[in-house]
Amino acid sequence: MVTYVSTLDVPRHVVEFLARLLAAQRRRIGTPKGSRALGPYRQAVLVLRWFRERGCVHCLARDAGVSQATGYRYLHEDIDALADQAPDLHDVLSRCQREGMTHVILDGTLIESDRLAGLRDNGNDLWFSQNHKAFGGNIQFLSAPDGTPLWVSDVEPGSTPDITAACLHALPALYMAAADGLPTLADKGYIGAGIGILIPVRRPKGKSEQALHVDTRMFNNLLRHVRALGERTAAELKQRRRTLQYVTLSPSRIGDIARTALVLNGIWK
């Protein structure tokens, strides 16, 4: 067996932040000092490697000198500790209003994962997205006008349409924010979302885009242009936390993993 030295491209203050959270959690549950195989700092490095490199837990645990079962336990502990730091949707919208933001951007993305058993009433796989032709979970997210990620929802099965997931996790709070002057921009996947959710106008079926009134076409173009910055939010989270490109844990944990990525993104800068 050959050993080698490598460097994790994560800022040191991110590792230290997570290590402090883990140390506080161990004190809170009364973990005896020296009873863990890894200290908070080395545990933080193990988990950040998983988020950053999308490595297999078996390999990460082996590198850290712990068993695979311990590696998974550390991983879930870290996800729970960081996901608890994610902001609440109402708090996010209140902050946006205080900071004078003109709007927020709502979008959804599929986080691919291993196949999970489960059938819908029509016999189709619950976690299979016909739109993406892949297994995974649907998460909704909000971004600021400049594309900065603000909030991430819990996960819904991949077969769930964006409008349905938004109704479950986001729309009630967004209606209240819109009433206070903070509208939401979204794409055509949210048609029928309601007042305060601005979406492009669909062209008549069987007609070209020119069938729309010139003012409507201009509205659609402006809306797409302003919303375009929010489209990079999912890409930013998935590229910085490569584990979001394909989750090998239970798909039911995708929401917690995405919220963890959101917290790490906030302290990365």
Inside any domain, residue 7: no
The average confidence (pLDDT) of the chain is 87
Q: 9 versus 208: which is more confidently predicted?
A: 9
The answer to whether residue 33 sits within a structural domain is yes
In terms of Cα–Cα distance, which of 4, 63, 11, 70 is closest to 37?
Answer: 70
Whether 262 maps to a domain, the answer reads no
Domain count for the chain: 2
Do 200 and 233 fall into the same domain?
yes
According to DSSP, the β-strands at 104-112 and 184-185 are parallel
Is the domain of 222 the same as that of 102? yes
By the 10 Å C-beta count (0-12 exposed, 13-18 middle, 19+ buried), 230 is classed as buried
Query: Which of 62, 83, 104 represents a domain boundary (last residue)?
Result: 83
Q: Are residues 22 and 96 in the same domain?
A: no
What's the pTM? 0.88
pLDDT in tens, 113-150: 886 666 666 656 888 888 888 899 999 999 999 889 99
Q: Is residue 267 part of a domain?
A: no
Query: How far apart are the C-alpha atoms of 149 and 89, rounded to whole Å?
Result: 12
Domain that holds residue 16: 12-83
Task: Encode pLDDT of 179-199 as tens digits.
Answer: 999 999 999 889 988 889 999
77 and 145 housed in the same domain: no
Of 145, 155, 135, 125, the residue nearest 229 (C-alpha): 145
Mark whether 218 and 128 lie in a shared domain.
yes
Please determine, for residue 256, whether its predicted confidence score (pLDDT) is greater than 90.
yes
Identify whether 256 is part of a domain.
no
Are the C-beta atoms of 258 and 149 separated by less than 8 Å? no
- Measured distance CA(85)–CA(80) in Å, rounded: 9
Regarding whether 237 and 114 lie in a shared domain, the answer is: yes
- 57 and 142 fall within a common domain: no
